[in-house]
């Protein structure tokens, strides 16, 4: 029963976003550069609403994380740790509360799967949005393309890097527990 409720929730969210996209197209047209941006957010919302019944997985070549990256200081140079602190200290943390360890968490492996699923959603959103940015650039809309690159960094690239860092820390912690 719980699985069907989750699937039903994802269908309702997809229907709602489809109506929103249809309204947008009717008002502003299909050539509006903003349609691609909203489509990226729609994809992320639909994918998130499908959890926990459908936990997404990274492509196998990108799935594994090296626990040693949690020790490197390159995250400081790029501001990934500051980005993570920013997320934890603002209401943005509630956009994906499932990636935070709570008292009722069943296991570290379950948390790791949720982290990978969140990372995967951002990954596929970035993969799907990047060609759209190139399309907007080819239309000569340089200001919009530049803004979309910044949005891509803030809403996809940095969350991916942060979630990989958290997964590496969790892997390192689990390795310490085993030894």
Confidence of residue 8 (pLDDT cuts 50, 70, 90): confident
Evaluate if residue 24 carries a pLDDT over 70: yes
Q: What is the pLDDT of residue 73?
A: 57
Q: Mean per-residue pLDDT for 57-72?
A: 74
Range name among 55-64, 69-78, 117-126, 137-146 with the lowest pLDDT average: 69-78
Q: What is the pLDDT of residue 68?
A: 66
- Nearest Cα to 155, choosing from 18, 50, 62, 36? 36
Q: Where are the domains of the chain?
A: 2-178
Q: What is the pLDDT of residue 74?
A: 55
More confident residue, 89 or 14: 14
Torsions phi, psi for 59 (to 5 deg)? -55, 145
Give percent above pLDDT 90 in the chain: 36
Of the spans 34-48, 65-79, 86-100, which averages the highest pLDDT? 34-48
Q: Mean per-residue pLDDT for 63-89?
A: 72
Evaluate if residue 166 carries a pLDDT over 80: yes
């Amino acid at each position: 029963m719980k699985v069907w409720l989750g699937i039903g929730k994802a269908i309702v969210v997809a229907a709602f976003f489809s109506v929103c996209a249809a309204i947008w197209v009717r008002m502003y047209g299909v050539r509006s550069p903003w349609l691609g941006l909203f489509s990226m957010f729609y994809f992320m919302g639909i994918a998130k609403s499908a959890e926990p019944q459908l936990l997404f997985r990274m492509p196998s070549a990108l799935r594994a994380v090296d626990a040693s990256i949690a020790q490197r200081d390159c995250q400081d140079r790029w501001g990934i740790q500051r980005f993570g602190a920013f997320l934890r200290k603002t209401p943005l943390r509630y956009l994906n509360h499932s990636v935070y360890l709570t008292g009722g968490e069943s296991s570290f492996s379950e948390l790791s799967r949720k982290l990978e699923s969140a990372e995967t959603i951002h990954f596929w959103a970035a993969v799907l949005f990047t060609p759209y940015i190139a399309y907007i650039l080819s239309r000569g809309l340089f200001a919009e393309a530049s803004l979309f690159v910044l949005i891509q960094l803030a809403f996809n690239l940095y969350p991916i890097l942060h979630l990989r860092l958290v997964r590496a820390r969790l892997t390192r912690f689990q390795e310490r527990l085993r030894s």
